[in-house]
Amino acid sequence: MKEFVIYTASRIALFVAAYAVVVGLYLAVSGADSIPLFWPFLVAIVISSVASVYLLKGQRARFAAVVERRAQAASRRFEQARAKEDHDEPGPPHAGPQPAPPPEERPEERPER
């Protein structure tokens, strides 16, 4: 869980930094008093996404290793439970209530005419 929080916080911080740089450049170049919200947001998303591939490689690898270990442990527990279940029940694989057998066919009684 710690690796997830660190990686996510790093991604958010990288986006905020990219957004600040884009807005700063926009204000420096245009000299405007206000900034549009949409275009700097999209540019910051692209910049932070590309930068995270290179800058957060180590954190992403650690996070992936934790996820892999947890997945292997869960798979191992599932297989152990399944094997235990197979050895515990001598009956059919799904020993639950069995459906009632169909009623025996009885000869129809015909009234005599």
pLDDT for 100: 65
Which pLDDT tens digit goes with each residue over 7-54?
999 999 999 999 999 999 998 888 887 888 899 999 999 999 999 999
Question: Does 112 map to a domain?
Answer: no
Considering its fold, how many domains does the chain have in total?
A: 1
pLDDT for 20: 94
Question: Does 113 map to a domain?
Answer: no
Q: In whole numbers, what is the pLDDT of the chain averaged over residues?
A: 83
User: To which residue do tokens 């066919």 refer?
Assistant: 105
> What's the rounded mean pLDDT across residues 101-110?
59
Question: Does 99 map to a domain?
Answer: no
pLDDT for 112: 64
Question: Does 81 map to a domain?
Answer: yes
pLDDT surpasses 60 at 59: yes
Question: Does 49 map to a domain?
Answer: yes
Q: What span, in angstroms and rounded, lies between the C-alpha atoms of 81 and 68?
A: 20
Question: Does 110 map to a domain?
Answer: no
Percent of the chain whose predicted confidence (pLDDT) is above 90: 41
pLDDT for 45: 96
Q: Which domain holds residue 18?
A: 2-88
Question: Does 96 map to a domain?
Answer: no
